[in-house]
Amino acid sequence: MQGTWAARPGALHAALRPVVPPPPGRVARFTLAGGPLHSGYPAPMPHTSHEPRLPTARGPVSAAVAQYLRGAGPLPRPEEIADGSVYGDDLQLALYLCYELHYRGFADVPADLEWDPDLLRTRAALEHRFLSALRADTPVHDSVEDALAEILVEPVDGTGVSHHLRDKGELWQLREYAAQRSLYHLKEADPHAWVLPRLWGRAKAGMAAVEFDEYGGGRPDRVHARLFADLMTDLGLDTTYGHYLDAASAEVLATVNLMSLFGLHRSLRGALVGHFAAVEITSSPGSRRLAEAMRRTGAGSAAEFFYDEHVEADAVHEQVVRHDVIGGLLEEEPQLAPDVAFGIDATGLVEDRFAARLLADWNAGRSSLRTPLPSEISGIS
């Protein structure tokens, strides 16, 4: 699956919401000389690390979390978490740091911090703010059928990011889009794998089958994350995991944090399934537009292939997710229907916010990234 989102009726609503500028970054104020504050975790053995480096902080909360991960400072105070802008850079990055420990971790951060109780308490406070905001801000359909029906209609005159890129996207915008999305696509399908133990029967079989397809059907060269890395190579981007975390906007961090939030909590399994359906349903037509954008700009054969593959794959995945995963889950657990609808609609909310941010920046002729990409590209055919 890949994440594209056609503009929906709610897009304008999201576009009008102001983007809060990031507070100035600052380092944690309490640096103790006595060694790591989180005691009991052995320092990592010296080795050639393949984990990403910790990113630059974007405010007091992300700075404190990063310093804690380094063993160099205390966790953020509850007031700091309460005061931050919930969709803003600081809180979204702080939450992203907490979640990333469950995927690949960071260089020079002990792996056992993944289950550090104090850090988990901070993560829970950040999640509480994020989930509360999502519940308050998401207009949720009355039924799963209604939520699905809305995204199963293709807009004739779509105004989403994929429409923009197909019709008039410039190569630098395609590169920025890929750099932003790489936060997800280089771990494509991973956040959704967590739901597997929480499903059974038809829902589990369908979900596992789609995930198997995402993971290349047993062939490493066809793992979708690998296909995306090949696309990035065509676009002259760095394929190192986590490379573009510093450059990524708060809005794209929120799209990935949403998946991690839903994936890591069994209580949100209905929302995870709804989210997954929303991405699969919107992916196929969006991927066709992005494949056309790649062809028009001569981005390269791997760049075209990634999206061409998703046109076909996700036309199938959509069917399996709607009939078997959602159908199977609600057959077993009908009480989860409102959560499934919430997952569908909350995905629309964060995707619309991301789209609004990209288009606002591009239409103003400026980069959507916090650190613009080097303009030199080698290897573009």
Partner 1 sequence: MPNSPSDPPRRITVQRRGPLLVEGPVEVELEDGSTVSSDRFRVALCTCRRSRRYPWCDTSHRDRA
Give contact residues for partner 1 (rule: CB under 8 A).
Answer: 152-156, 209, 212-213, 217, 284-285, 288, 311-313, 315-316, 318-320, 323
How many whole angstroms separate alpha carbon 187 and alpha carbon 81? 27
Spatial CA neighbour of 253 closest among 25, 89, 67: 89
Q: Quick one: 38 or 310, whose CB is closer to partner 1?
A: 310
Spatial CA neighbour of 213 closest among 329, 99, 319: 319
The three-point CA angle 247-259-226 to 5° equals 65
The helix/strand/coil state of 47 is coil
CB of residue 177 vs partner 1: minimum separation in angstroms?
A: 21
CB of residue 284 vs partner 1: minimum separation in angstroms?
A: 4
CB of residue 308 vs partner 1: minimum separation in angstroms?
A: 8
Helix axes 224-234, 301-320, angle to 10 degrees: 150
CB of residue 347 vs partner 1: minimum separation in angstroms?
A: 18
How many whole angstroms separate alpha carbon 235 and alpha carbon 297? 11
Q: Which residue type is seen at 341?
A: A
CB of residue 289 vs partner 1: minimum separation in angstroms?
A: 12
Q: Quick one: 187 or 317, whose CB is closer to partner 1?
A: 317
CB of residue 168 vs partner 1: minimum separation in angstroms?
A: 21
How many whole angstroms separate alpha carbon 96 and alpha carbon 103? 11
Chain centre distance of CA 380? 27
Residue with tokens 């990333």: 100
CB of residue 298 vs partner 1: minimum separation in angstroms?
A: 20
Residue with tokens 């390269």: 300
Tokens of 122: 């901070």
Q: Quick one: 189 or 254, whose CB is closer to partner 1?
A: 189
Q: Quick one: 254 or 320, whose CB is closer to partner 1?
A: 320
Q: How many residues does the chain have?
A: 381
Tokens of 211: 């995930």
CB of residue 330 vs partner 1: minimum separation in angstroms?
A: 18
Chain centre distance of CA 62? 18
Q: Quick one: 30 or 212, whose CB is closer to partner 1?
A: 212
Spatial CA neighbour of 79 closest among 134, 154, 129: 129
Confirm if 88 and 250 have CB atoms less than 8 A apart.
yes
Q: Quick one: 196 or 316, whose CB is closer to partner 1?
A: 316
CB of residue 155 vs partner 1: minimum separation in angstroms?
A: 7
The helix/strand/coil state of 273 is helix
Q: Quick one: 254 or 290, whose CB is closer to partner 1?
A: 290
Confirm if 298 and 184 have CB atoms less than 8 A apart.
no
Q: Quick one: 118 or 312, whose CB is closer to partner 1?
A: 312
Q: Quick one: 16 or 153, whose CB is closer to partner 1?
A: 153
